[in-house]
Amino acid sequence: MNASKFLPDDPKLTAYALGELEGAERAAVEAALRDDPAARAAVEEIRALGARLESALAAEVAVETASDASVPAPPLAHAAIISGRDPSKLDGGPLVDAPNFRWLPLFYYAVGGLAAASVALLVVLRTSPPVPRTSFPAPAIARAVATPAPAAMPIVAATEKVLSGDTAAKTASMPARESQAARTAKREIFRVTGSPAPMAAGSIQLSATAGSVAMNSRDGAIFSENRGLRGYVPTANLDSVAPAWAARPGADDDRLAEVRDNDFLGAAQNPLSTFGLNVGTASYANVRRLLLAHRLPPRDAVQMEELLNNFPYHYASPSGAAPIAVSLEVAAAPWAPAHRLVRIGLQGREVSLAAPSAEPKSISLPTIAQDVMLQVEFNPTRVASYRLLGYENRQLIKEDFNNGNASATASAELGAGHTVTTLYEIVPVGVDDADARVAPVDELKSRPTEIAAAPAGSRPRPVSQLRHVPPPELLTVTLRYREPAAATSQRLEVPLTDRGAQFADASPDFKFAAAVAGFGMILRESPHRGAATLADVAAWAEAGITDDTRGTRAELVELVRAAEKIER
């Protein structure tokens, strides 16, 4: 060691002061300290602070209360299963007491999308008091649907636990290890909850447009691997929809219960796609932090829409009365060139503020629109199938859209000057793509979900009239929003016609958004990432760097390179 003098901010000095150095390292620091009074003083300060920290932290409220003293040490694992705390707690499943539900079960409905959840709700309603249609926020659904689950599941959860046995590091691989009993029970549960009969007797409105119905299925049930039966979400009679995502090898190694990427939906069956804006960026911050710490983020920490919206884009500002402008662009999807990528850009009206220009994100900008929801109507003569990137847990039921009722599932606000970016991947009619193939129309009896009566105690809701997008248009985007002081929401419709642009022809903003999406898909290990590599992503991003005064786009390239290094 060659440190005759220490910089005051040398981590080694802290390590030494805290007694973390040994042997030669320690001796070297001690030698250096002899001639460095400033460093010696720093060491004393660090030690004094350490003592204060220990003392303050020791006094930090210990959360244990008297009631804990009475909690006995758990019996050995097998006994615990038999004697019955909720056995699902032992399988790596959600830590949720059945009677005290909290939020976690919702997770599985985020997987299925609200449409799947609403199908499942029907099953429950037959034995439960009617749930008013208006109380349809997702947590309520989860609560209602999940109620029967614990009764049916312990056998399987226990089985899995017994099989998986040993440590936290291992999570049972459900397909590989499940017993015959588990499989039987699983089928049984699916048979009961997945019965198509309630569809016909429906007492609530259903929507097939809420994206993820055509989710990945295995044995007809949406399947969250390694979660045991809690991961099974009934899909009612939608199991005819093609399973597009086979089980990935090695996926069971991952302890995360995952939210699957939205799958391709057939435009003929599901011409409407509806969701409430997510203007958050927290996921990007997490991804960035982890990558900079040389760790790959867990798949589910990567929320595509939050990555996309971390970056400002240069969309046209609203010129008319509306506070929001919609900018649409379409070009080839770079990860699947036969597919089309549609970018929906929203630009909130600028509000002149005497605010410093630095760090605009930290300034609380006035909200210019609330309850912002988007609905996209696809033209089935042009679009075979489509997929919304991100927003796995934000899809709305279209009745909520028509009622401007975004608050049921999301509280989307747009701040002055903010941009929001959303991407759809489209398989054009005529492109045969096994990955994106969806069920023929007649299997879903064309648009069965437009029908259905309201539940007892609530009024029937108007169902939207499809505009039937005229042939030249690829799609029409309808934006709904409410101005802050307004009681009612406004509507804005913008059509898009595809002129066949290649990716190279696209705007820099488009290229950059595609790069972010590609990055997100790779980090999520999305089955839809096609041939995209991190090197591709970096190239797309670099082609999209423009007007990057804050360096945020350049930073993405850095993060892609960081991810490349970790992957190697």
Within 78-97, the residues that bind other proteins by CB under 8 A are 80, 85, 89-90, 92, 94-95, 97
Candidate residues 30, 44, 54, 219; the one interacting with other proteins per rule CB under 8 A: 54
Within 230-289, the residues that bind other proteins by CB under 8 A are 255-257, 259, 278-280, 282-283, 285-286, 289
Within 101-130, the residues that bind other proteins by CB under 8 A are 102-104, 106-107, 110
Q: Which of 406, 31, 463, 392 is nearest to 213 (CA)?
A: 392
Hey, is 507 helix, strand or coil? coil
Exposure class string for 136-166: b at 16+ Cβ within 10 A, else e: bbbebbbbbbbbbbbeebbebbbbbbbbbee
Shortest gap between Cβ of 175 and other proteins (angstroms)? 20
The residue count for the chain = 568
Considering only the stretches 143-151, 160-168, 421-429, 491-499, report the one whose residues sit in contact with other proteins under the rule CB under 8 A. Answer: 160-168
Considering only the stretches 32-40, 201-209, 294-302, 313-321, report the one whose residues sit in contact with other proteins under the rule CB under 8 A. Answer: 294-302
Candidate residues 66, 71, 354, 358; the one interacting with other proteins per rule CB under 8 A: 71
Q: Looking at beta carbons only, is 118 or 393 nearer to other proteins?
A: 393
Q: Looking at beta carbons only, is 80 or 431 nearer to other proteins?
A: 80
Considering only the stretches 18-26, 266-274, 310-318, 335-343, report the one whose residues sit in contact with other proteins under the rule CB under 8 A. Answer: 18-26
Considering only the stretches 76-84, 127-135, 517-525, 534-542, report the one whose residues sit in contact with other proteins under the rule CB under 8 A. Answer: 76-84
Give yes or no for residue 191 binding other proteins (CB under 8 A): no
Give yes or no for residue 359 binding other proteins (CB under 8 A): no
Give yes or no for residue 46 binding other proteins (CB under 8 A): yes
Q: Which residues, listed in sequence order, are joined to residue 272 by a DSSP beta bridge? A: 377
Within 304-323, the residues that bind other proteins by CB under 8 A are 306
Residue keyed to tokens 């300290």 = 33
Shortest gap between Cβ of 522 and other proteins (angstroms)? 19
Hey, is 331 helix, strand or coil? strand
The beta strand positions in 203-261, using DSSP E, are 217-218, 221-222
Contact assessment for residue 329 and residue 513, using Cβ atoms and an 8 Å cutoff: no
> For residue 426, how many C-alpha atoms fall within 13 Å in the half-sphere facing its CB?
31
Residue keyed to tokens 């909720």 = 86
Q: Looking at beta carbons only, is 66 or 151 nearer to other proteins?
A: 66
Contact assessment for residue 165 and residue 242, using Cβ atoms and an 8 Å cutoff: no
Residues 476 and 68: their CA atoms lie apart, in Å, by: 58
Helix/strand number for the chain, H first, E second: 18, 12
Give yes or no for residue 55 binding other proteins (CB under 8 A): yes
Number of chain residues interacting with other proteins (CB under 8 A): 82
Q: Looking at beta carbons only, is 256 or 416 nearer to other proteins?
A: 256
Within 130-159, the residues that bind other proteins by CB under 8 A are 138
Give yes or no for residue 66 binding other proteins (CB under 8 A): no
Considering only the stretches 65-73, 342-350, 462-470, 504-512, report the one whose residues sit in contact with other proteins under the rule CB under 8 A. Answer: 65-73
Give yes or no for residue 329 binding other proteins (CB under 8 A): no
Q: Which of 45, 225, 243, 208 is nearest to 118 (CA)?
A: 208
The beta strand positions in 288-382, using DSSP E, are 324-333, 336-348, 367-378
Contact assessment for residue 463 and residue 450, using Cβ atoms and an 8 Å cutoff: yes
Within 374-393, the residues that bind other proteins by CB under 8 A are 392-393
Indicate left, alpha or beta for 294 from its phi (over 0: left) and psi (-120 to 50: alpha): left
In sequence order, what are the residues at sequence separation of 6 or more whose Cβ sits closer than 8 angstroms to the Cβ of residue 39? 5, 6, 8, 13, 32, 33
Q: Looking at beta carbons only, is 100 or 127 nearer to other proteins?
A: 100
Shortest gap between Cβ of 161 and other proteins (angstroms)? 9
Give yes or no for residue 422 binding other proteins (CB under 8 A): no
